[in-house]
Amino acid sequence: MSSLPSALPFDIEVIERELARLWQSAAMPDRRHELALSRTSVLTLFVYAPDTSRAETARDLISRLSMHHPSRVVLLVATRQERLDEPQVSIQCNLGIAERYAPCYEQITITLPSDGLELLPSLLIPLALPDLPAFLWWLGPLPCHDRRFVAVARTVDRLIFDSLESHHPIADIIATRRLVQQVTRSTAVSDLNWGRLGPWLETTARMFEIPHCRWALEAITRVDLRYGYLPQHSTPNPTQALLYLGWMASRLGWRLASLELLDNGLHLDLTASGNRRLRWTIAPEPSEELFHGQLLRIRFAAEHNAETASFSIDLSGRGRATLRLRVHDRNHCVLEHAFHHHLLDLQRLLLNELQEVAPDWLYEHALDEATGLAVEYRKLERLKEHERDDLPPRNPPR
């Protein structure tokens, strides 16, 4: 049994008192700018940073978010130091947004021990503004295997994390699904990595709405999906790719028939309605760090009687800032469509999540399917590990 973390060296009520004092002193209109400070709250945002460098990243983002977003932000910074800092309380007001008002937000910064997971509910509950949704944005890998984390997640209306941060992507997909089920009555769970898939899902859906292409949805034979992989990273992160496949499978009723691990990626055979078979290839491809774990390209091939067509969706353009759809018939490109995707804009991704309170059933269904794939993947991995243990390797291990 682990020892209890040390208690925090302050009283939570002091924070509220200090905030009240700050608002009182700020209540006079700003004479220099002839502005009234405006206190509007739409939510409480808790941000958990596992270290000071991530806390700095979060601070920067919070400050930009606050330009359009008056609320209470509580930054929880984990530290390994024994001596914890006093909490900091401030009111930040933004000039220049509105003509007569300066919208403000409250920021509270609390340091806590890095092993202080069970302390968190006792901070989150009293610091959440009443009657407004509370969000917890968890930076760094989600401790989804830690049983104590369930109690943390249950204290907020929405938990936001990023599976791109995961060190063990396949195991974490399974654990995340378990967490989603455990907190389903109280908390919606959002994965920013799923949010990044939004434009891909949208483009895929609209591809099959082009009148020339509707037939192809029932006639897909092959899908080739590539995602980014920074070779210096320890492992590829196929979470986004598996969630994408999970989404299609859940929407179209595809079932996994077989899965094969390749040296570089995997083959999946799926059955669709009418016992039709289709093959997916999912493979990592070297990329810049920004695109590690992110989809780079999907190619669909469809065939029905004498008809054939192929479709591709690619990140393209300068800085891969555009998502481009191309539709080909047997001979040539018949249609192109492109739009700006905002995939790399963390602020925008986060804003999207902060607008949602209800659970995202589409994500949950995709996660269910991805979990099924992850379980099969793990079985094969273990099998391979056993084979390696039983037989002397023919080649030196990679």
Partner 1 sequence: MTTATLQNPLREGLRFERLPDPCIMVIFGASGDLTRRKLIPALYNLAYDGLLPPGFSIVGYARRSLTDDEFRQEMRAAVERFSRRQPIDPDVWDTFAQGLFYFTADFTDGSAYPKLGEVLERIDRERATAGNRIFYLATPPDAYETITQFLGESNLAQPSRSGSWVRLIVEKPFGHDLESAITLNNHLLRYFREEQLYRIDHYLGKETVQNILALRFANGIFEPIWNRNYIDHVQITVAETIGIEGRGGYYDRAGALRDMVQNHLLQLLSVIAMEPPIAFEADPVRDEKVKALRALRPIRPEDVHELTVRGQYGPGFIGGRPVSGYREEPRVAPNSLTETYVALKLFIDNWRWADVPFYLRTGKRLPRRVTEIAIQFKRVPHPLFKGMATAGVDPNWLVIRIQPDEGVSLNIAAKLPGPRIRLRTVTMGFLYGTSFLVQSPDAYERLLLDCMLGDSTLFTRRDETEAAWVPITQILRGWAESPPPEFPNYDAGTWGPPEAEQFIARDGRRWRRP
DSSP string, 303-352: EETTEEEEEEEEEESGGG-EEEEEEE-SSSEEEEEEEE--TT-HHHHHHH
- The contact pattern for partner 1, residues 329-368, with x = CB under 8 A and - = no contact, is x----xxxxxxxx---------xx-xx-----xx------
Q: 220-259: which residues touch partner 1 (CB under 8 A)?
A: 248, 251-252
The CB-of-242 to partner 1 minimum distance in angstroms stands at 17
Q: 255-262 and 307-316 as β-strands: parallel, antiparallel, unpaired?
A: unpaired
Contacts with 362 (C-beta within 8 Å, 6 or more apart), sequence order: 247
| Pairing outcome for strands 220-229 and 295-304 | antiparallel
* Token pair in block for residue 261: 């691990």
Residue 68 makes contact with partner 1 by CB under 8 A: yes
In terms of residues, how long is the chain?
Answer: 398
CA 211 to chain centre: 33
Nearest distance, CB of residue 252 and partner 1, angstroms: 6
Size of residue set near partner 1 by CB under 8 A = 65
Residue 211 interacts with partner 1 (CB under 8 A)? yes
Q: Of the two residues 110 and 241, which places its CB atom closer to partner 1 in the complex?
A: 241
Q: Does 30 bind partner 1 (CB under 8 A)?
A: no
The DSSP letter of residue 30 is B
Mask 187-206, x = binds partner 1 (CB under 8 A)? -----------xx-xxxxxx
* Region binding partner 1 by CB under 8 A among candidate stretches 129-137, 180-188, 209-217, 262-270: 209-217
Q: Is 276 in the site for partner 1 (CB under 8 A)?
A: no
C-beta of 298: minimal distance to partner 1 in Å? 13
Q: How far apart are CA 255 and CA 372, in angstroms?
A: 10
By the rule CB under 8 A, 42 interacts with partner 1: yes
In the 8-state DSSP scheme, what is residue 285? E
Burial of 173 (0-12, 13-18, 19+ CB in 10 A): buried
Q: Is 40 in the site for partner 1 (CB under 8 A)?
A: yes
- How far apart (Å, rounded) are the C-alpha atoms in residues 194 and 211? 28
Tell me if 214 contacts partner 1 by CB under 8 A.
yes
Helical axes 120-127 vs 12-26, angle rounded to 10°: 30
Least separation in angstroms between CB 136 and partner 1: 17
Q: Which two three-digit tokens encode residue 122?
A: 């006792």
Structure tokens at 103: 């919208």
In the complex with partner 1, which residue's Cβ is closer, 217 or 266? Answer: 217
Q: Does 298 bind partner 1 (CB under 8 A)?
A: no
Site residues for partner 1 per CB under 8 A: 36, 38, 40, 42, 65, 67-70, 94, 97-101, 103, 198-199, 201-215, 217-218, 248, 251-252, 304, 307, 309, 316-318, 321-325, 327, 329, 334-341, 351-352, 354-355, 361-362
